[in-house]
Amino acid sequence: MILLHALRLGEDDMFQRFSTTTLCTAILLIHFSALSPCASRQASVTTAGSGPINCRVMEAFEEAKLGVRAIIFHQRDKADGPRLGALLLAHTGEEMELQTAGGQSFRATVFRVKSAFGRGLVLIPVSKFRLAEHEEFILRLPAKH
């Protein structure tokens, strides 16, 4: 009887060790799977940073008293959505280079619009230039000097 009880204790102990090991493994898998999107996001940012993204103006606002123009934009081509999203996520609030269809280039501060996936916001002095709704431009990270 005592031997049978000892065997049962051994089984319970082995089950408990197995359960603990399984739980630890599950936690590690969840942790590493959570890191995986970050790694792919970083790869997307690298890809996005290496080439221009064609964008289209959705809305444009001007505040003459403050001398500021605000432009809300998104990607021109649906396939560029993930690249634009990754670029904006990684570089929100930074200066980026924009090039108009006419070839005019300028630098402006670009933000990610958190409430709308894949949307960006450009803030630029009114004196720089004007982009109207539906106009297109090319967005890229500025070349490092």
Whole-prediction pTM: 0.64
101, amino acid identity:
A
Q: Report how far apart, in Å, the C-alpha atoms of 74 and of each of 52, 56, 81, 112, 139 are.
A: 13, 6, 8, 10, 10
Kindly tell me the burial class for residue 110, based on how many C-beta atoms sit within 10 Å of its own C-beta (0-12, 13-18, 19 or more).
Answer: buried
Which tens digits make up the pLDDT trace of 19-74?
444 333 333 323 333 333 333 434 444 444 458 999 999 999 999 999 999 999 99
Assign 139 to helix, strand or coil: strand
- Spell 24-41 as b/e; 16+ CB within 10 A means b: eeeeeeeeeeeeeeeeee
How many domains does one find in the chain?
Answer: 1
| Boundaries of domain holding 91 | 1-145
Residue 128: strand, helix, or coil: coil
What CATH number is given to the structural domain containing 106? Answer: 2.40.30.10
What are the tens digits of pLDDT across the range 90-117?
Answer: 999 999 999 999 899 999 999 999 988 7
Counting every residue written for the chain, the total comes to 145
DSSP label of 130: -
